[in-house]
Amino acid sequence: MPGPERTATEVLDRTVFDEAPCLGAIIDVEHRLLRLNRAFSELFGDGPTCHQAVKGAEEPCPECVARQAMADGQVHVSDELGRGPDGAEVSYKVRAVPLCNEGGEVDQVVLLGLDTTPLTALRVELAEVERLAEVGLSTAGLAHTIKNLLSGLDGGKYMVDSGLSKGDDDRIRMGWEMVQGYVDQVSALVRNLLRLVKEDERRPVEVAPGELVDEVVQMLGHKAAAYDIGFGGQVEPELPSIRVDRDGIAAGLANLVANAIEACMWDPDFDEEHRVEVVARAGDPGWVVLEVRDNGPGIAEEHRAEVASRMFTTKGMRGTGLGLVLTRKVVERHGGRLEFTTATGVGTTFHIELPVTEEA
């Protein structure tokens, strides 16, 4: 009985290994292929070593999970790229399981893998679908914005024309102020669009965070003062310089400040002494944070999830939604993060987190 049982076990072992749908191979400490199953050989073919068979390389991978398993006797998992016999790229997930001999030393490693190429292709297709959907939504939002701006210009034009026909100077002045306001919005819209399409023209330079704060405070101080909104900047001492596209980051920061000022302008709480602060401070090690704080009405709870979406604005005909899009794109291109905290009736703070060096 022992003989047939052992034979049956060996047959079962070989059958399960060879016919398993996952990739399977056994290698020794020299990375030589001792055994491979049908799925492995069909996907990669064979070769004297695993790196030659899977990647067509003469040397083991720099971050070889099999080598790591041999070194510490632990199971290691990794996502990898290989080459099929026809040279086509193959993505796969591999698990390296160490096998010990009678002396307790790792002398072989079992490689168990899963071909993730179809899943990777599906992810690429989904990303493209999402991108096209995003383009469609952005285009629809932009068309709606332009329509609103044209309607506003028509309204201002009507006020000017009717004022001229009636000799009503107050009506003319009101109409002209409407026209000026909407022309300013058209100009801002065009500037933001140009920045969005010129994103590849980034020229990083070393800049002190305090310089960005001072620049934005000087740029928009008159707007805050015109509406009796307190405005100023705070810079922590000894902050490191950051390597960024200065114009892009300054424009993004200015967009957040303009939004904060307008939030205070349109706050229904007229008794609030509104104030906007631009702050530069240290973040996590290796990071600098630029903040824009306001004590306006805050972002309504039903809108908070939409803040990350393209073309989002709570300003109705007064806004285009592109300012936040521009800021987010610029920050993300620098490997940074744009986040916010808000409370209804208390105010909102936007945080731009940037790595100190471009390499980070």
Which CATH number fits the domain that encloses residue 109? 3.30.450.20
Residues 172, 271, single domain; the answer is no
Could you report the per-residue pLDDT of 48-99, keeping only the tens digit for each?
Answer: 999 888 988 888 888 899 989 999 999 999 999 888 888 888 999 999 999 9
Identify the band that residue 346 occupies on the pLDDT scale cut at 50, 70 and 90: very high
Helix, strand, or coil here: 81?
strand
Q: Are 312 and 321 in contact (CB under 8 A)?
A: yes
The amino acid occupying position 276 is: V
Flag whether 3 is in a domain.
no
Flag whether 302 is in a domain.
yes
Bridge partners of 232, per DSSP, are 277
pLDDT at 3 over 60: no
Report how far residue 218's alpha carbon sits from residue 121's, in angstroms, rounded to the nearest whole number. 49
How many domains is the chain partitioned into structurally? 3
Residues 100, 175, single domain; the answer is no
- Beta strands at 89-100 and 106-115: parallel, antiparallel or unpaired: antiparallel
Q: Write the DSSP symbol of residue 58.
A: S
Q: Are 46 and 31 in contact (CB under 8 A)?
A: no
Residues 129, 103, single domain; the answer is no
Flag whether 295 is in a domain.
yes
Task: Give the C-alpha distances (Å, rounded to integers) separating 220 from 150, 214, 234.
Answer: 26, 10, 15
Residues 168, 209, single domain; the answer is no
Flag whether 316 is in a domain.
yes
Q: Are 202 and 335 in contact (CB under 8 A)?
A: no
Residues 180, 216, single domain; the answer is no
Residues 300, 341, single domain; the answer is yes
Residues 69, 193, single domain; the answer is no
Token pair recorded at residue 279: 């702050």
Identify the band that residue 304 occupies on the pLDDT scale cut at 50, 70 and 90: confident
Flag whether 232 is in a domain.
yes
Residues 332, 277, single domain; the answer is yes
Residues 100, 129, single domain; the answer is no
Which helix (DSSP H) or strand (DSSP E) does residue 82 occupy? Answer: strand 76-83
Flag whether 187 is in a domain.
yes
Q: What is the pLDDT of residue 198?
A: 59
Bridge partners of 352, per DSSP, are 290, 338
Note if the pTM is more than 0.75: no
Residue span of the structural domain in which 167 resides: 121-197
Higher pLDDT, 270 or 307: 270
Q: What is the pLDDT of residue 315?
A: 47
Residues 231, 342, single domain; the answer is yes
Report how far residue 27's alpha carbon sits from residue 185's, in angstroms, rounded to the nearest whole number. 67
Residues 109, 165, single domain; the answer is no
Report how far residue 237's alpha carbon sits from residue 80's, in angstroms, rounded to the nearest whole number. 45
pLDDT at 140 over 80: no
Residues 252, 353, single domain; the answer is yes
